């Protein structure tokens, strides 16, 4: 089961690009890397997922180096509404057995 390590908190000004890095040294061959966003009083919301190299969607980009021992979530031009906790998730795969571990997340505060 891959353990993840993220910064506990980050601050950013509006309009800046924010990069949040997650370490997962014990990632397994089958594991995908998934990022979630969570606002207060709401459930986590899926942002982006990847296996290797770079993935981009309308919300964020995910960069994964060749060794896959870390990943970086990139949020372009953040706004106040991006203030939330961001979780990096690395899961184990396998029929009949499912374990998923959420780390403690990174609290992003966007400053006007």
Partner 1 sequence: DAGITQSPRHKVTETGTPVTLRCHQTENHRYMYWYRQDPGHGLRLIHYSYGVKDTDKGEVSDGYSVSRSKTEDFLLTLESATSSQTSVYFCAISQGTGSDQPQHFGDGTRLSIL
Is residue 13 near partner 1 by the rule CB under 8 A? no
- Among residues 104, 108, 110, 112, the one that binds partner 1 under rule CB under 8 A: 104
Look at phi and psi of residue 67 and say left if phi exceeds 0, alpha if psi is from -120 to 50, else beta: alpha
- Among residues 82, 105, 108, 110, the one that binds partner 1 under rule CB under 8 A: 105
> Which residues on neighbouring strands pair with residue 38, listed in sequence order?
85
> Which residues on neighbouring strands pair with residue 73, listed in sequence order?
20, 62
- Among residues 57, 94, 109, 111, the one that binds partner 1 under rule CB under 8 A: 94
Q: Cβ distance 36 to 43 under 8 Å?
A: no
Question: What is the token pair recorded at 92?
Answer: 């184990």
Closer by beta carbon to partner 1, 16 or else 53: 53
Q: How far is the CB of 58 from partner 1 (least distance, A)?
A: 16
What is the separation of C-alpha 49 from the centre of its chain, rounded to a whole number of angstroms? 8
Binding site residues, partner 1, CB under 8 A: 30-32, 34, 41-46, 49, 51, 87, 89-105
């Amino acid at each position: 089961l891959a353990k993840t390590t993220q910064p506990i908190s980050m601050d950013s000004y509006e309009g800046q690009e924010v990069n949040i890095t997650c370490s997962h040294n014990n990632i397994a061959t089958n594991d995908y890397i998934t990022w979630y966003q969570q606002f207060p009083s709401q459930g986590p919301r899926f942002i982006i997922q990847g296996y290797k190299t770079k993935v981009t969607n309308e919300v964020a980009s995910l960069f994964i180096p060749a060794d896959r021992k870390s990943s970086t979530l990139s949020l372009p031009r953040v706004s106040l509404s991006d203030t939330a906790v961001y979780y990096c998730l690395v899961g184990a795969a396998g029929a009949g057995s499912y374990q998923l571990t959420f780390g403690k997340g990174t609290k992003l505060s966007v400053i006007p």
